[in-house]
Amino acid sequence: MDAHTLLTDIFRLTAPQKAALKKLGIATVHDLLWHFPTRYDEGGSETSVSALSLGMDATIIGVLEKLETKKSWKRRVPVSEGYVRDATGRIKCMWFNQPYIAKMWQDGTRVKATGKVTGGEGKLYLANPHLERAGAAESGLFEQVGSEPKSYQLEAKSSLFAVYPESAGVTSLWMRHAIAKLLATDIPAHIEDPIPAHILSTYHLPNIHDALIYAHTPRSHKDALAARKRFAFEEVFFIQLERQRTRALEARERSFVIDTPREDVDDFIGTFGFSLTSAQGRAIDTILADMQKGAPMSRLLEGDVGSGKTAVAASAAFAVVSQRPEGQRSGALQVAYMAPTEILAKQHFESFIHLFDDHPMPIGLITGSGCYKFPSKVARDKATKISRAQLLKWVANGEIGIVIGTHALIQESVQFKHLALVIIDEQHRFGTSQRRTLARKEARLPHLLSMTATPIPRTLALTVYGDLDLAILDEMPQGRKPIMTEVVEPKKREAAYARMREQLQAGRQAYVICPRIDEPDPEKAFAIQAKSVKEEAKRLKKDVFPEFQIDIVHSKMTPAEKDSVMKRFAEHEIDILVATSVVEVGVNVPNATVMMIEGAERFGLAQLHQLRGRIVRSAHQAYCFVVAESRGERTRARLKALTTAKNGFELAELDLRERGAGELRGGRQWGISDIGMEALENLKLVEAARREAIAIIKKDESLSSFPSLALALSQRAASFHFE
Ligand code: ADP
Ligand code: MG
């Protein structure tokens, strides 16, 4: 039995447990040991059965009695029942949905039982108590000695226990028991530490064996913290190693030397109809210098929505398609441009056609719902719909220089003749490996330009983009009117509505963003209810804006319903669109220049910033009203940052500082686990992991002198593939 043993070989698992573990991606002993608690609960004070009262968190040391499994008639769920007896009496214990407890433990075992004292039909019981074998040395405070209870001064002792993310099928308690069982075997002792010893000692990190025990069964918060720090470091270190290894490998590959004369590029830029911001100018300089070197470029262009990334991408694309393939008198090098959605791909296609107005160039668009080519044979200034087969043929023989698409681009059998540049817009987990897929049989690796407006803090960028060099657009185009953002007190909502009305009457449109979709939950009648899309839309129509067209869009609608609403909004049949934040209002509606965000304190600042980015799509002044439900000073101060911060990245840093890495969670879009995300609160830790990874790769790229590290990395890669 070792860390790779399947759990099914060790535990008798029920079908729901198997399903739940599979969903969590847990198959082996290793997987389970690396499944970390979300928090640690204080066990409560140790006390006697006679002193228990309703609602207490208590720990009782005593002997188990009368364990059995029952089916609860009311809830039809299996229940383990039993008693813990100490010198003062016995208390019933009930474990709902956990029939195995009665099988795992035996009557007569001395245990420490920790749980909440719950009442039912006049009787008290411990609900889902955590059981731990009480050592012989661990005398209970109310141990039976002879027939007389020993009397002690009550001294509160507390114990910590791990709480795991609950998921249907496996409870936190099951996790605790199963992991404790694994930790008691000799498996942990045989797990080789993948982190080299010198790194552990430099950063005072516990070794793998201690860290596993501390993480799952800590004696103190300090132990737990040390362990979590180690595993957080470990994950960031692994990611950095992968990225640095990719980087080292790619640095040795050859790419296309792009040396289109600078005057030609400037001439192209001169036709845009605006002058570049200096940030755009610097980014283009950097990119051209990268592509001239012959080694593949790997660069990330980071800039807020509206900072003008497309113009930078087009300039890079122009430099590439202006170049003939080496040793050839005709044809051109090619560019692939990938966008996250069909709508965006279409928008880029149109922007490119426009930007290449005076330098006509065949441009293709490939999406799931059709292919287009520009220019059309009949009308030189129009795009035509063509068959996929025809487009693919022209891409393969090199006739179409620029191909724009969704990831249909890599999934389909698109073959390029001379693919020299891959541009990727807003696809965080895409990058170097996608470039390789696109390159296919190319002897040379294309250059890569990845672009993002997603505001993330520096530690996260350093980690996920460890293989990319950075270029930043930290400046907005001139003449762009900054959004007027205002934090509105709930009682001053009327004034904000008045300003909204002015804009609506002037012909503009508005979004109202609410945190929830549905009607209030009557069971939570007394809790503060966030505004809901459906209710707010009704209220606005009835009480505030009866003269305007109001409609809603949210994630529970079908794609067809959403499309139809968005289309009507784009055509100005709707004046006010009430929506949730999750719904992708990816459509560009330049005339929508007003946004009111309700329940704003429920969102992260970076998220609020992205939301309001939707109303800066035209020359009209944009207004954003941010309404918080809570009157707290802190909330107001936090939201005020929206009016002072220079860009989204600054807001992302603030989120991280004030709300912790939890704010960044939600989906594994970054390919980092929750414990890895904890590292992102610590810039020093992330920098250390990066530094050490760079040092190791520099010394030993193949990791041949770090076998356990190499193994851990390949397993990590395999498990991500599995995802
Ligand atoms: P991003 O992709 O960074 O969000 P876009 O590239 O879509 O931004 O640019 C947003 C708008 O700004 C476009 O209409 C574009 O033509 C315009 N634009 C870009 N650069 C400039 C500039 N330097 N001066 C004026 N307008 C610009
Ligand atoms: Mg863009």
pLDDT band at 575; cut points 50, 70, 90: very high
Q: Is 477 in the pocket of ligand 1 (CB under 6 A)?
A: yes
Closest ligand 1 atom to Cα of 305: 4
Distance 571 CA to ligand 2 centre (A): 22
Check whether 186 has a pLDDT greater than 60.
yes
Q: What confidence tier does 642 reach under pLDDT thresholds 50, 70, 90?
A: very high
Would you say the CB of residue 281 lies under 6 angstroms from ligand 1?
A: no
Whether residue 722 has pLDDT greater than 50: no
Identify the nearest ligand to the CA of 309 by its number.
Answer: 1
For residue 41, the model assigns a pLDDT of: 76
| Residue of higher predicted confidence among 360 and 412 | 360
Mean pLDDT score, 44-52: 74
Is any atom of ligand 1 closer than 6 Å to the C-beta of 276?
A: yes
For the entire predicted model, the pTM comes to 0.74
> What is the per-residue pLDDT for 147?
36
Label residue 631 by pLDDT band (50, 70, 90). confident
pLDDT band of 264, cuts 50, 70, 90: very high
pLDDT digits (tens, 9 = 90+) for 152-184: 323 334 467 788 877 777 877 788 889 988 998
> Is the C-beta atom of 513 inside 6 A of ligand 1?
no
CA nearest neighbour of 439 among 256, 248, 246: 256
Distance between CA 216 and CA 207 in Å, rounded? 14
Task: Report the nearest atom of ligand 1 relative to the CA of 272.
Answer: 16
652 CA to centre of ligand 2 in angstroms: 19
- Residue of 310, 356, 478 best suited for mutating to test ligand 1, as the one with most atoms within 8 Å of CB: 310
Of all protein residues, the one whose alpha carbon is nearest to atom 11 of ligand 1 is 306
Q: Of all protein residues, whose CA lies closest to atom 15 belonging to ligand 1?
A: 308
What does the pLDDT average to over 564-582? 91
**pLDDT attached to residue 583:** 58
**Beta carbons within 10 angstroms of residue 616's beta carbon:** 20
Torsional class of 480: left (φ above 0), alpha (ψ -120 to 50), beta (otherwise): beta
Of all residues in the chain, what percent carry a pLDDT higher than 90? 42
Beta strands in 140-236 (DSSP E): 144-145, 148-149, 160-163
pLDDT at 136: 52
Name which residue sits closest to atom 25 of ligand 1, judged by CA: 477
Q: Does domain 7-191 have CATH number 3.40.50.620?
A: no
Angle at 668 between CA 601 and CA 578, to 5 degrees: 40
Strand (E) positions, 255-318?
Answer: 298-303
| pLDDT band with cut points at 50, 70 and 90 for residue 449 | very high
Reply yes or no on whether the pLDDT at 544 is more than 90: yes
45: how many CB neighbours lie within 10 A of its CB? 18
Which residue's CA is the closest to the ligand 1 atom numbered 19? 308
Counting ligands in written order, which one lies closest to the CA of residue 311? 1
pLDDT-based confidence at 584, cuts 50/70/90? low
Please name the residue whose Cα sits nearest to atom 23 of ligand 1: 276
280 C-beta closer than 6 A to ligand 1: yes
Transcribe 571-588 into DSSP letters. TTS-SEEEE-SSS---S-
Mean of pLDDT values over 451-473: 87
State the pLDDT confidence band at 523, using cuts at 50, 70 and 90. Answer: very low
Ligand 1 centre distance from Cα of residue 4 (Å): 52
Tokens 């696809």 correspond to 427
Is 80 exceeded by the pLDDT of residue 362? yes
Q: Tell me the CB-side half-sphere exposure of residue 393, using CA atoms within 13 A.
A: 5
Higher pLDDT, 444 or 436: 444
Where do the CATH 3.40.50.300 domains begin and end in the chain?
Answer: 262-292+308-452, 484-646
* Region(s) of the chain under CATH 2.40.50.140: 7-191
Least confident of 121-125, 342-346, 448-452, 569-573: 121-125
Asked whether 613 lines ligand 1 (CB < 6 A), one says no
Give yes or no for residue 648 having a pLDDT over 70: yes
Q: What pLDDT does residue 710 have?
A: 92
Q: How far is the CA of 311 from the centre of ligand 1 (A)?
A: 7
Which residue from 274, 304, 351, 483 has its CB within 8 A of the most atoms of ligand 1, so it is best to mutate? 274
Lowest-confidence segment of 249-258, 408-417, 587-596, 713-722 by average pLDDT: 713-722
Going from the C-alpha of 480 to that of each of 306, 484, 618, 622, the distances in angstroms are 9, 12, 9, 10
In this predicted structure, the answer to whether residue 440 has a pLDDT above a threshold of 60 is yes
Q: Atom 5 (ligand 1): residue with closest C-alpha?
A: 308
User: Where residue 404 falls among pLDDT bands split at 50, 70, 90?
Assistant: very high
Architecture of domain 262-292+308-452: 3-Layer(aba) Sandwich (3.40)
Q: How confident is the model at residue 525 (pLDDT cuts 50, 70, 90)?
A: very low
The predicted pLDDT at position 139 comes to 46
Q: How far is CA 681 from the centre of its chain?
A: 15
What's the CA-to-centroid distance between 267 and ligand 2, angstroms? 23
pLDDT at 155: 30
CB of 309 closer than 6 A to ligand 1? Answer: yes
The pLDDT, as a whole number, for residue 674 is 81
Q: What percent of the chain has pLDDT over 70?
A: 89
What is the number of the ligand closest to the CA of 306?
1
pLDDT for the residue numbered 520? 58
User: How far away, in angstroms, is 99 Cα from ligand 1 center?
Assistant: 62
| Residue 44 confidence (pLDDT) | 62
Give 610 Cα–ligand 2 centroid separation in angstroms: 13
Give the tokens for residue 561. Answer: 């319903």
pLDDT number for residue 528 = 57
Per CATH, which fold does 484-646 belong to?
Rossmann fold (3.40.50)
Max mean pLDDT range (88-97, 491-500, 639-648): 491-500
Q: Give the position, in ligand 1's atom list, of the atom nearest the Cα of 425.
A: 2
Q: So what's the pLDDT on residue 151?
A: 33
